[in-house]
Amino acid sequence: MTHYSFLYLCGGAGRRATQGRPKPLSSINGIPMMVYPLLAVQGIEAITELVINDPEGFLDDLKGILAQYHITTPVRFVPAGASRQESVMALVETCSPRSCDRPRGGTSPGEAGIL
């Protein structure tokens, strides 16, 4: 079976939204926005790890949300970069080697790639 890492870019400071915290921590219907995609991918057997940017000062908040919503897929946290590009690069460089063999997609059966 092919194994995938789900890379979640969660490093934005939310400055334009004037939240004072990362946008994925803002709520929709009382649920942090970051929870929706994580719950959606949790049931996908091929996704064997979540790699999430953690903005400085919010790691405990992220861990608390994952626990509260029973996200059970293994998680690796990666410090967010100073820019979106740096944050994306940190995610890609951190995901498990098997799941990053083909970072541009187009994987063949039996190969791994980034979803």
CATH no. for 4-100: 3.90.550.10
- CA separation for the pair 5, 23 (Å, rounded): 22
Is the overall model pTM greater than 0.85, yes or no?
no
The more confidently predicted of residues 16 and 56 is 56
pLDDT averaged over the chain?
79
Dihedral of the alpha carbons of 115, 98, 71, 76, in degrees to the nearest 10: -110
* Domain limits, the chain: 4-100
